[in-house]
Amino acid sequence: MDYLAAFEISASGMAVEKARLDTVALNLANVNTTRGENGKVYKPLRVISAAKFNDAFDNYLSLSGPGRAAGAQVVEIRELSVTPRLVYEPGHPDADEKGYVAYPNINPASEMVTLVETVRAYEANVRAMNAAKSMALRALEIGGSR
């Protein structure tokens, strides 16, 4: 009876979607920032996720058995290689010698689409976890008089 494996899988999916939500929030928060890390312009971030499988050490500890699928994981959070959006604002403190200010090239519409997809995926993981919970609770009723 490996209920815990199902909980673990759904939890890993929720963690991935939460990381994705964090980066979307970060991107949207920085839509108009002119100074990013090291004084360079901020670049939008993307979560790269992959399916997760138990390795040898996990197999030893795991409840789910050898070589089995174990949910999803965040592989890395990568900067998108997009060119900054240049806006002509000569008076701006961060303007270059020609009077252009570099803003991050973030597309709010595409960020919002990612946001909605992420929330839906998160909800689906919660549903799966609740289903596992109700199955486990029903199993406790075996042989009980009702």
Q: Which residues bind another protein (CB under 8 A)?
A: 1-3, 5-6, 9-10, 12-14, 16-17, 20, 49-51, 64-65, 67-72, 117-118, 120-121, 124-125, 127-129, 131-132, 134-135, 138-139, 141-144
If one counts every other C-beta atom within 10 angstroms of the C-beta of residue 25, the result is 12
CB of 15 to another protein, least distance (A): 9
CB of 105 to another protein, least distance (A): 22
Nearer to another protein, 65 or 90 (CB): 65
If one counts every other C-beta atom within 10 angstroms of the C-beta of residue 44, the result is 22
Task: Take residue 141 and report the two structure tokens written for it.
Answer: 């009723």
CB of 122 to another protein, least distance (A): 10
Q: Which amino acid is at 140?
A: L
When computed from its CA atoms, the radius of gyration of the chain, rounded to whole angstroms, is 22
CB of 10 to another protein, least distance (A): 5
Nearer to another protein, 34 or 62 (CB): 62
CB of 43 to another protein, least distance (A): 20
Torsion of CA 58, 131, 75, 64, to 10 degrees: 10
Nearer to another protein, 14 or 106 (CB): 14
Nearer to another protein, 9 or 106 (CB): 9
**CA–CA separation, 99 and 86 (whole Å):** 10
Closest C-alpha among 74, 60, 70, 56 to residue 118: 74
